[in-house]
Chain A
């Protein structure tokens, strides 16, 4: 399937759909326990991750904690 991930076209071969944990694993997303996931403009609740299905054409944004700035 073809996805748009953080604004970039991303192809996931041999998969028609994935759950969010499956997608995080497939894309080797850093800090999968803490990343915020937005699907087609809506932020997904972590407790529902297992039940959310990502399909061809979906737009995904991963939002990471970034704590630096002052020090």
Chain B
């Protein structure tokens, strides 16, 4: 049952026939984990909190830096130096005190990620490096937890939703990470600040649709966005029978960190 305050707060959701009181209850009972409280995670966390997703987890060991504020809209100028997960939790609680925010002030790695993701219904990958992106894919595939991938660079973004065992995973597209420093990072080449807003909100939309059980998820197709040309392109992605983790004879049977994929940028992190 919803309280009177909840009925008023979520009235615009409840008015949708695809949501209604039942759907709002599903959101309130939902558990979504956001790995990375930065460019992608910031808008996702704000909207999921506002939407009334009852339990939201945030994973990030970083602190807020002045260079973050151009795009990581959950962090404010007075937050500089504060742990990102704490800064984010404060804003989410201010938007919606009726939800629970679990914070994990640590980097996700092969040794801790399973313990963090188990129990969540849906995971949002808001990380900025290939080691983390492959780790999240592998952990979600092995645990059978659906997740949303997104990546951004300059004016370009890409996103796909993965339902393990049903739709293509990240390794069906990219079997392994590129060598260290082969692909530029946002800190090296720049990123237009609104870009992660677009992608992070698409990721949050996928989480909400998954919890509601409504609509079509972005599975089996990668959405590719170019902000300069304002172009959205969708590429159909089939499962790869030879995929090293979700294929017919997987070679990855347990988690390991892709140490070779750690970027220069990560190594220089304070």
Interface residues of A (CB under 8 A from B): 6-7, 31, 33-34, 36, 38, 41-43, 45, 61, 63-71
Contacts and interface: CB of A to CB of B under 8 A. Distances in A.
Contact of B150 (A6, A7, A61, A69): A69
B174 A67 contact: no
Contacts of A43: 172-173, 237-238, 240
Interface of B: 36-41, 60, 62, 68, 125-130, 132-133, 150-153, 156-158, 172-174, 177-178, 182-183, 185-187, 191, 196, 199, 222, 224, 231, 233, 235-238, 240, 242, 263, 265
Given A33-B182, A34-B178, A43-B173, A69 B126 contact: yes
A38 B222 CA distance: 12
B263 A7 contact: no
A66 B172 contact: no
Of A34, A64, A65, A69, most buried by chain B (CB within 10 Å of CB) is A69
B243 to A, nearest CB: 10
Given A38-B235, A69-B126, A70-B129, 12 more contacts: A31-B178, A43-B172, A43-B173, A63-B224, A64-B153, A64-B156, A65-B183, A67-B130, A68-B196, A69-B36, A70-B37, A71-B265
Contacts of B237: 38, 43
Nearest to B186: A68
Given A43-B237, A71-B187, A66 B151 contact: yes
B40 A31 contact: no
A71 B186 contact: yes
Given A67-B130, A69-B127, A61 B156 contact: no
